Amino acid sequence: MTNQYLTFSDNDKMPTLGLGTWKSKPGDVFGSVISAVKSGYRHIDCASIYGNEKEIGKALQQLFADSVVDRDELWITSKLWCDSFAPEDIEPAIQQTLADLQLEYLDLYLMHWPIPLKKGHGMRSADDFMDPVAQPFTLTWQAMSFLKEKGLAKHLGVSNFTEKKLKRLIEETNLKPEVNQVEIHPYLQQTSLVSFCHDNGIHLTAYSPLGSGDRPDPLKQSDEPILLENKVIIEIAESLSVTPAQVILAWINQLGISAIPKSINNERQVENLNATRVLLSRSQLQAMSELDLGRRYITGEFWVKDQGYYTLGDIWD
Ligand code: A2P
């Protein structure tokens, strides 16, 4: 069965297929959001660190003004950037995102990474980071809960959390995230994390579902396999007369996981949205499950600094 929505405890429904906006450059993202929503997208994934929320806000305003959709028909996600993890910095951060997006509330607000940075700092050296013992992500998560009480975000979640960190978060705060947004695709299936989330009523959103081929070069490894060129995926696509991207997105959908493929091209946007209608057989699902390489495209190496707080092992513990 295909899944069109993931349903929350209050019966709110998040469309499984959303539009990713990371890497959509200023100048591109306006048209990308307009064409996606006009083509039927109802879920847009944003983040303040992507640097394009103002332009997305202009696109949303135009869509509302032209009566293409109403606000309550859209699911808008954004994310709290790591330099605003101190409790007093959280509300100003979401208010900035809401002002940029020209919205009164978000459907979902996520803690972007479990890593605190100093206010206003980039992530160039160890000196840009806050001590994670003095500023634990549990404290940020606890403080985020008032955003729901104030009506600024309808749902709250996290991103880039491992099973170990989710357990710590729940144990220490007694507040369960509603969503964990992580990298998931056939080369990084994260089956244990997926089971843990599903067993605990935490929805998952897959980022970089198509292998994030347009990442900036410094975020790429020279030996990395190209997901969309995988032979098994191409064979399944040919047998179903669909595209490799559709096979991947259909597989994620059938696992009960939402996905946010990024595309600024309307033809590919439509292709990706239509993947929610593609149904893989049991043997095709089995063949997909055998492709796991435990391979991250977003390695998190940018968090690892000389004399810093984190190793890759800490980030993906
Ligand atoms: P474009 O934006 O030009 O369509 P991810 O979502 O994993 O980050 O992948 C995004 C990359 O995949 C972008 O380079 C995007 O290019 C490309 N892409 C998106 N949809 C498809 C598709 N259906 N087929 C092939 N490439 C796609």
pLDDT per residue as tens, the chain (317 positions): 788 999 999 999 999 999 999 988 889 999 999 999 999 999 999 999 999 999 999 999 999 999 999 999 999 999 999 999 999 999 999 999 999 999 999 999 999 999 999 999 999 999 999 999 999 999 999 999 999 999 999 999 999 999 999 999 999 999 999 999 999 999 999 999 999 999 999 999 999 999 998 898 888 988 899 999 999 999 999 999 999 999 999 999 999 999 999 999 999 999 999 999 999 999 999 999 999 999 999 999 999 999 999 999 999 99
Q: Is 317 in the pocket of ligand 1 (CB under 6 A)?
A: no
Q: Is 269 within 8 Å of 302 (Cβ atoms)?
A: no
DSSP H helices in 39-133: 53-65, 87-101
Among the listed residues 50, 109, 187, 207, the single catalytic one is 50
CA separation for the pair 101, 92 (Å, rounded): 14
| Longest Cα separation, the chain | 55
Q: Is 142 within 8 Å of 162 (Cβ atoms)?
A: no
Q: In the Cβ-directed half-sphere of 114, how many Cα atoms lie within 13 Å?
A: 27
Concerning whether 50 is annotated as a catalytic residue, the answer is yes
Whose alpha carbon is nearest atom 24 of ligand 1?
245
Q: Is 29 within 8 Å of 263 (Cβ atoms)?
A: no
Q: Is 271 in the pocket of ligand 1 (CB under 6 A)?
A: yes
CA of 8 to the centre of ligand 1 (A): 28
Whose alpha carbon is nearest atom 18 of ligand 1?
263
Which of 262, 274, 276, 297 should be mutated for ligand 1, with most atoms under 8 A from CB? 262
